[in-house]
Structures are given as structure tokens and as C-alpha cells.
Amino acid sequence: MFNFSDLIIQNVKMKKSHVVVGIDPDINRIPLFYLKEAESLYGVSSQGAAHALLEFGKTVINTVKDYVAVVKLQSAYFEVYGAYGVATFWELVSHAKNEGLIVIADAKRGDIGPTSRAYSESFFGDKTNKWRDSNPTVDALTINPYLGKDSIDPFYNSAISLKKGLFILVKTSNDSSEDLQDKQLKSQLTVSETIAEWVNNYACDSIGENGYSLIGAVVGATHTKDILKFRKLMPNSIFLLPGYGAQGGKGENITNAFNPDGYGALISASRSIIYSYNKVEIKTEHQIKKCITDAVRNMNNDINDALLRENKLKWKAEALNSRH
Amino acid sequence: MFNFSDLIIQNVKMKKSHVVVGIDPDINRIPLFYLKEAESLYGVSSQGAAHALLEFGKTVINTVKDYVAVVKLQSAYFEVYGAYGVATFWELVSHAKNEGLIVIADAKRGDIGPTSRAYSESFFGDKTNKWRDSNPTVDALTINPYLGKDSIDPFYNSAISLKKGLFILVKTSNDSSEDLQDKQLKSQLTVSETIAEWVNNYACDSIGENGYSLIGAVVGATHTKDILKFRKLMPNSIFLLPGYGAQGGKGENITNAFNPDGYGALISASRSIIYSYNKVEIKTEHQIKKCITDAVRNMNNDINDALLRENKLKWKAEALNSRH
């Protein structure tokens, strides 16, 4: 049955890109002219900040939409500005979806069962709740597994019925992910390998048309040596690999995240793309768009070239064939 | 130096109550007359739902404020209604603080360093960000430790400088907390015991006037046999124990969470208090208030009686002394 992973593969093929652009807008790093405009409209206020984030986010989306299939919005940067920030988050979700992009909410939620149901409803909606009217929904959500399987189930059940996707945190990109995730259990597995086994059990019960599940895994692009291990533990899951770029991940190091079919991984970068103009004094939207376009195309080429070298690039191989 | 734990102890003494009321408002369980009023004002919509949650939440706060020192707002139930819901969350935070209550945001956040900083700013504010103007802040936040210590540090640093508190998830109240948290490591410690050691290391560096740290721990009231173990592992942390009531926790089973000084634990209940009227058809605010008052007083008496039996009740002992 067609599920979230099939939607991913369909769109990745169409855009010829495994890249995900992360939208993590920090008021201290976005171009100054967005702030000046916002200040003139709403003053230096949460409402003003939320407006600046909205306009900047739209620019990013409008720029990257031809080069990527998926964007990932980091909830934290919007929550800073309270209800105004959250309104911007959902406006950008709608904008990205209207532009044909798949949207992942990077919110890393996880709680006891009834509360996880409420979080699932927050991000995926719930057809039985007539009060939640026209709020948009995201296509996928990142999930923290610390509370165990009964905290994943409500998200998983909603994802099945509403055709959504999940990315469970298995091995995160940050340095101190080792503090807990690399700890070895008596069973010989590490904590993150244990979570990988959970993910695989869920995945085996929810395989789509292309052989992948709606339940994916977050595996940091920074942990090169572990990627192949996790690929083997979760053969049917799409990996979301954050940490490319600003956190140090590179294309040549993450090809093991892909299956021999050339699919199964989405490589995410945020700061190295959306702040690629380096200076907040940059003057025009045209200049910003050029910097972001260059950054996202370079990243895409870096990954596609690395995959080509390993004979894992689906579309260039097809392009070569068509020349015969 | 006076810190968040001192604020807790000061207010617990004043209210003679270790009870925390959790505000987890579910549209399917709040009294119908709130929904009717909201529908007449805003229609069946997210705005309407957020209004109903606001009015219901105010009733709960106004009712429990004389019997508890602390309320805990569960973010998920507000996020369901997008920006409207988040606006209600912050209005209730302000309302509770204006009524002299300490407010814990139960949001279980945790992310890589820069993102944790953004979450910390979302809940605690940041004096260096002039754009976040008049947004209120909470007094404390629950934190998920899956991403390791570099994800806790931004919250901890803010908590020190802004006099806030943290409750790290150590052992959660849900059944499948055992899936990961009870797993035994090669070091012989379980995962949750390992997190308890982290908490204690942070705590030893941030002790307040009453001997407690600003960094506390979530330990489910449902895991009676583990409570004493965690008390010994984290002698200087205030425990937040969810799971009393609806999830099965009882006063007599949680006295081990308290230190011999009679402090060090906050017992939280949500559904058993805020839905204590049982029927959504309940007609008047007066009736609701009576049910909630009875429920919270019974809970407080249950806990105080259990502490008295173990000679751990500070204020009744004082009251007895004053009769001599």
C-alpha cells in the first residue's frame, strides 16, 4: 500500500535530490532587512520577529523548492515567539505544501500515551475532532523514544490511518549523543541499536510499494562509522540524516545510508544552506536566493556525485542509459 | 544561594501541600457548557476550542490555588489548536503566576545544543533577545535526556542565570517506560539510574539554601519499588512524581520520595483532579469547583497523612508543637 515512504521516493525521483533543507530561523542570523521591515510593521516585538521569520522562511522555501523534495521545520525556533511564532510555523507549513514540498516537523516529541495522542493530533490532525477545523498538518514528525513503545504507538497508529511518516531518534548528530545512545546494554546492543530494533519491528509491519516503511529513523550524518550498521539493522526504513554541513557531515561519508536501490536516505542541512550568505548585512532578496541556490545545488551535487561513484545514483544512471 | 528549589519549599510550606495539579485539558472531557459558550463566540473552530480551554483552565487554577503551590501545564493539549492553543497556554501561565502559583511547563523538550537553547528561550526567555518582549515565562520545564548532556546544558545554564528549574525525565510513569529506562547497561546501572547519576552531578553544583538543587527529576509515582533507590541516587533533587490518581499512584506508596526533612517531592495528578466531576454534562462552575476542591483536598490529605505516619510531615508537627 502506498505510504509516506512511497511519497518520499516519488518526490525524490522527481526532484533528483535526496536533500532536505532545514528551516531553523534564528533572529540573530537572518538578513537584517527582514528585521527592519518587521520592525516598521510591528515594532521590536514577538509579532515583529514572527513576521521576519515568516518572510525569511518563504524566501528559503521559494528558493529551494526546485532543488529539494522535502523541507524540515525546526519547531523550537518558532516557539521562541509564543503564539505568533507558532502561527508562523503553520503558515510556512502551508506555504511549503502549496509549493509541492513534503514537510517534516522536527519537534522531537514523545510522552506518555494520552499525551502522545495529543501531540500526534497537533501535528497530524484527527478526523474525529471537529474543533481542530482547518489547521494544516505536516507530513512527518520526529519522535523521541525515551518513554518507550507505548509512547510511539499513538503516533504510529495515526501515521498509518492518516498516511503520515515518523522519524524516530535513533542516533542523533550531536557530540554528546554518545552519553546515552552509545551506552552498551547487557544484551550487547547499545541503546541506539536497541531503538533501531524497535524501529525495524514497526517497519516490518508497515511496508509500502517501494519496500520502505512509513516509520523512519534519525541517524546523524556526523557518525560515519555507524551508518552502515544502522542501515543493516533497519533495511526498510528511510533515514533522516541531519548534521551535513555546519555539523561536519559530507556526501562521501553518508553513501552507506542508502540501499543498493539508491533510496532510503534523506540528507538534511540547515545552517549551511539558510545562512550561506554569511553576512546579515546582505542587501537584497536576489542575493540571498543566489547564495542559497548555490549552497543547495552544491550539496545536492556532492551527494549525487558520491552516490554515482558507488553506483547508487538512480537518475543519472537512467540519463546515461537513455543516451545509448 | 536562593534557587528554584527554595522557591518550591517556601511555597509548599505556605500552602501546606506537596500537590501539583496538572492541567491537561482535553476537549472531549471538559464540561460541555464551556464548549457551548465557546461555540457561540467563535464557532466550532480552533479558536473556539482554545477559548474553552482557557476558561476551563482558569476555573481549575482559581479553584486549586488555595490548596497547591504548583501547577503543571501539559503543552501537548494546547498545541492541538495551533497558535490559538499556544496563546491559551501562555495566558494560563500568566493567570497562574498572577494568582501566586509556581508554573511548570510539561513539554519534555530536548534537542541538539543550539536547538535546546531555542527551547530554553521559548520557555524561560532570554534577556539578550529584545524581540521576545513581553512574553511570559514559566518557572520550570521538563526535559528529555535522550540526546545527552550537551542537550541539557543550555537549559541548565539558563536555569542558573534566570532562577528557573528543570525536571529531567529519569523514570516516567507509563507502563512501557521499562522498554528503555529499565534496560540494564554493562556498567550494571540501568538507563534511568545512569540519567539519575547525571542529574546528581548537575545537582551537586547548584545547591540552594535548603540543600536542594534547581535541577530535579521526573520519577513516576507508579513505580513504588524504585522510588527509594532514586531518592538515594539524587539526594539533592526535588522529584516531580506524575501518575498519582488516574495512573494508579497512592500517597502511602510515595513517601519514600521525600527526604527525612519532609521535602524533596512534588506529587502531581491531572485527570483525577481536573475531571473529578466525571460527567461532562455537569451544569455549573460552582459544581465543578466543588468536585475539584474535594479531589485536591483529598489528595493532599492522603499525602500529608502518609507523611505524618512516617514522621515526615513538617507543618502538622509544627502545629502540634505550637499547642504545648
CATH architecture of B4-322: Alpha-Beta Barrel (3.20)
CB contact under 8 A, A179 and B135: no
A108 is catalytic: yes
pLDDT band per the 50, 70, 90 thresholds, residue A134:
confident
Instruction: Verify whether the Cβ–Cβ distance B151 to A173 is below 8 Å.
Output: no
Mind giving me the DSSP string for B214-251? SEEEEE-TT-HHHHHHHHHH-TTS-EEE--BSTT-B-G
> How many interface pairs between A and B have CB atoms less than 8 angstroms apart?
219
Would you call A71 helix, strand, or coil by DSSP?
strand
CB–CB contact B112 A174 (8 Å): yes
Phi-psi region of A262 (alpha: psi -120 to 50; beta: other; left: phi over 0): left
Question: How many angstroms separate the CA of residue B241 from the nearest CA in chain A?
Answer: 14
The pLDDT value given to residue A8: 98
A321: confidence class by pLDDT, cuts 50, 70, 90: very low
The C-alpha angle with vertex B195 and arms to B190 and B201, in degrees rounded to 5, equals 130
pLDDT for A271 equals: 94
Mean pLDDT across chain B: 94
Pick from A34, A40, A147 the residue to mutate for testing the B interface (most B CBs within 10 Å): A147
Q: What is the ipTM of this complex?
A: 0.96
| pLDDT of amino acid B318 | 44
Average of per-residue pLDDT values in chain A: 94
Strand A19-23, strand A70-74: pairing: parallel
Interface touch A145/B145, C-beta < 8 Å: no
A206-215 per-position pLDDT tens digit: 999 999 999 9
> How far does A246 lie from chain B, in Å, by closest CA?
12
Contact assignment for B133 to A26 by CB distance below 8 Å: no
CB contact under 8 A, B180 and A169: no
Q: Is the pLDDT of residue A7 over 80?
A: yes
DSSP for A24-57?
---TTTS-HHHHHHHHHHH-SSHHHHHHHHHHHH
Active-site hit among A13, A58, A97, A108: A108
- Gap between the Cα atoms of A199 and A155, Å rounded: 13
The C-alpha torsion from B38 through B39 and B45 to B47, rounded to 10°, is -30
CATH number for the domain running over A4-323? 3.20.20.70
Distance from CA of A85 to the nearest CA of B (A): 8
Residue B148 to residue A174, Cβ atoms within 8 A: yes
- Taking CA atoms, B198 is separated from A299, B233, B269, in Å, by 38, 10, 26
Predicted local confidence at residue A316, as pLDDT: 57
Best residue of B86, B117, B191 to probe chain A, by most A CBs closer than 10 Å: B86
Give the start-to-end residue ranges of the domains of chain B: 4-322
> Mean pLDDT, to the nearest integer, of B111-133?
95
Measured in angstroms, the CA of B201 and the nearest CA of chain A are apart by 14
User: Which of A82, A122, A149 has its CB closest to that of B179?
Assistant: A149
Q: Which residues pair with A27 in a beta bridge?
A: none
State whether residue A2 sits within 8 Å of chain B by CB. Answer: no
Tens of pLDDT, residue by residue over A230-276, are 999 999 999 999 988 877 777 788 999 999 999 999 999 999 999 99
Q: How far apart are the C-alpha atoms of B138 and B159, rounded to whole Å? A: 11
